[in-house]
Amino acid sequence: MFLRVEKVSEKKLIGNRLVMSLAEDRTRELWQGFMPRRKEIGNPLSKDLISMQVYDGLLKVKEFNLTTQFEKWAVVEVKDYAKIPEGLASYTLSGGLYAVFVHRGLPSSFPRTAQYIFGEWLPNSEYQLDHREHFEIMGDKYRNNDPSSEEEVWVPIKRKNQE
């Protein structure tokens, strides 16, 4: 599941966002609203789709529960913000260090991947969670609701005991 640690530069993104929780999961609504409009976005850097989660404060894994609210984005990375289609929004993802994992399988099996990341890999690594965006890249190997689907899971990290 673990692929690598990578330093990411700032990314310019355009897409849709909704506030939700795991109990009130509006992911389907978010993507159904975004997918028909993605072709309106000029200057995309790739065909990859990005699902991003933004938390108000530092995500505390032990305190995260079904009702924890967060902002979820359905976006594509763009070269610049020269043309933002009406009704869509821009977001600049801050750069930094990320641990990159691969999730294989259906969305329903993602809790197993999350358990590995937050319950096994992170506590046993030289890193701790950082307060930045979490995101998934759905590239060429992504197949919606297919057991053979793959997506990259990017988790913001910093060295332990680093302020």
Per-residue pLDDT reduced to its tens digit, 74-102: 999 999 999 999 999 999 999 999 999 99
Once rounded to an integer, what is the mean pLDDT over residues 36-60? 90
CATH topology of domain 2-159: Multidrug-efflux Transporter 1 Regulator Bmrr; Chain A (3.20.80)
Per-residue pLDDT reduced to its tens digit, 49-64: 999 999 886 666 677 7
**pTM of the full predicted structure?**
0.91
Which one is predicted more confidently, 65 or 37? 37
Cα-to-chain-centroid distance, residue 6: 15
